[in-house]
C-alpha cells in the first residue's frame, strides 16, 4: 500500500508539471497577443501623428505659395500705381495696396505660428519614436521569453506523457480510477496531511483518521475535499525523502 501511495504521489508530481505546462500553453499566447496589440496601438498613434504633421506641412506650403502670390500682386500694384494719373483711381488703388499689405502681414504671422507648431510636432514625434523603439525592443524580448516558455512547455508536455504512462502502469486500476475522478474535479488530487490538517483544504482531520494515516495501510480521503491524504513520514522512508525533495523541483 505504501508503494501504491508513493506511486500516486509520483503521478501527482507529473500531473502538477502537466497542469503547469498547460497553463503556460494557454496563457503565453494570449500574453503575446496582448503585447502585439500594445505595440500596434502605439504604432497607429505614431502614424496618426506623422499624418497630422504631413498635413500641416502641406498646409504651410500652400500658405507660403499664397504669400508669394500676394507679394507678387503687391509688386504689380505698386508698378501700376506709378502710372495712374487719376487721383480717385490712385487713392482706390492705394487702399487696395494697404489691405493687400495687411493680408500679407496676417499670413506671415500665421505661417510663423504654423512653423512653431511644426517644430513642436517634430520634437514630440521624435520623442514618441524613441519611446516606440524602446517599447518595441522590450516587447520583442518579452515575446522571445514567452515563446521560449511555450516551447519548453510543449517539450515538457511531450516528455511528461511518457512519464505519466509509466507512473500509471504500476498503480492499481481501482485506485487509479479514483485518483482520476478526484483529479478531474480538484487539483492536486493527493495531498499531505500535516499537523492533523489536510493541506489541500486546510481542514482538521479527526484524530482517529490521522492515526490511521501513520500506518499508511489504507487509502484515506479528506472528509471535506475528498482528496487522497497521506503522511509523508509514513509513506516515504527518510532515505528517499531527499530524493523526493529534489525531484519535486521544476
Ligand atoms: Zn481536504
Instruction: Tell me the CA–centroid distance for residue 155 and ligand 1, in Å.
Output: 32
Instruction: Tell me the CA–centroid distance for residue 245 and ligand 1, in Å.
Output: 22
pLDDT, tens digit, 9 for 90 and up, residues 162-175: 899 998 998 999 99
Instruction: Tell me the CA–centroid distance for residue 230 and ligand 1, in Å.
Output: 11
249 band by pLDDT with thresholds 50, 70 and 90: very low
- The residue-averaged pLDDT of 134-143 equals 98
Cα four-point dihedral sign 138, 142, 148, 151: negative
| Mean pLDDT, rounded, of the chain | 92
Res 240: pLDDT: 55
Instruction: Tell me the CA–centroid distance for residue 172 and ligand 1, in Å.
Output: 23
The residue that leads in pLDDT, 244 or 98, is 98
Res 239: pLDDT: 58
Instruction: Tell me the CA–centroid distance for residue 191 and ligand 1, in Å.
Output: 8
Instruction: Tell me the CA–centroid distance for residue 2 and ligand 1, in Å.
Output: 20
Instruction: Tell me the CA–centroid distance for residue 187 and ligand 1, in Å.
Output: 11
84 band by pLDDT with thresholds 50, 70 and 90: confident
Domains of the chain: 17-169 (1.10.287.1490), 173-247 (no CATH)
Give pTM, 2 decimals: 0.73
Instruction: Tell me the CA–centroid distance for residue 222 and ligand 1, in Å.
Output: 5
Asked if 216 and 224 touch (Cβ cutoff 8 Å), the reply is no
The residue that leads in pLDDT, 61 or 250, is 61
Residue 204 φ/ψ, nearest 5 degrees: -70, 140
Using the predicted structure, report yes or no on whether residue 123 has a pLDDT greater than 70. yes
Using the predicted structure, report yes or no on whether residue 250 has a pLDDT greater than 70. no
Q: Return residues with CB closer than 5 A to ligand 1 (ion).
A: 198, 200-201, 222, 224-225
Instruction: Tell me the CA–centroid distance for residue 162 and ligand 1, in Å.
Output: 30
Amino acid at each position: 500500500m505504501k508503494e501504491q501511495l508513493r506511486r500516486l504521489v509520483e503521478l501527482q508530481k507529473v500531473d502538477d508539471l502537466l497542469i503547469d505546462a498547460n497553463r503556460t500553453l494557454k496563457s503565453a499566447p494570449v500574453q503575446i497577443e496582448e503585447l502585439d496589440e500594445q505595440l500596434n496601438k502605439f504604432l497607429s498613434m505614431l502614424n496618426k501623428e506623422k499624418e497630422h504633421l504631413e498635413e500641416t506641412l502641406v498646409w504651410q506650403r500652400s500658405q507660403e505659395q499664397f504669400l508669394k502670390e500676394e507679394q507678387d500682386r503687391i509688386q504689380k500694384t505698386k508698378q501700376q500705381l506709378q502710372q495712374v494719373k487719376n487721383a480717385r483711381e490712385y487713392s482706390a488703388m492705394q487702399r487696395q495696396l494697404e489691405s493687400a499689405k495687411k493680408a500679407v502681414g496676417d499670413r506671415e504671422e500665421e505661417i510663423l505660428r504654423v512653423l512653431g507648431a511644426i517644430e513642436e510636432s517634430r520634437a514630440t514625434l521624435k520623442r514618441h519614436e524613441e519611446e516606440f523603439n524602446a517599447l518595441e525592443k522590450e516587447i520583442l524580448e518579452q515575446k522571445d521569453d514567452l515563446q521560449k516558455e511555450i516551447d519548453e512547455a510543449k517539450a515538457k508536455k511531450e516528455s511528461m506523457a511518457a512519464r505519466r504512462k509509466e507512473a500509471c502502469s504500476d498503480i492499481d486500476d481501482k485506485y487509479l480510477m479514483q485518483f482520476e475522478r478526484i483529479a478531474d474535479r480538484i487539483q492536486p488530487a493527493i495531498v499531505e496531511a500535516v499537523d492533523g490538517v489536510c493541506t489541500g483544504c486546510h481542514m482538521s482531520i479527526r484524530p482517529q483518521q490521522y492515526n490511521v494515516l501513520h500506518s499508511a495501510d489504507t487509502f484515506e480521503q479528506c472528509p471535506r475535499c475528498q482528496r487522497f491524504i497521506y503522511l509523508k513520514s509514513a509513506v516515504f522512508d527518510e532515505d528517499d525523502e531527499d530524493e523526493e525533495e529534489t525531484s519535486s523541483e521544476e
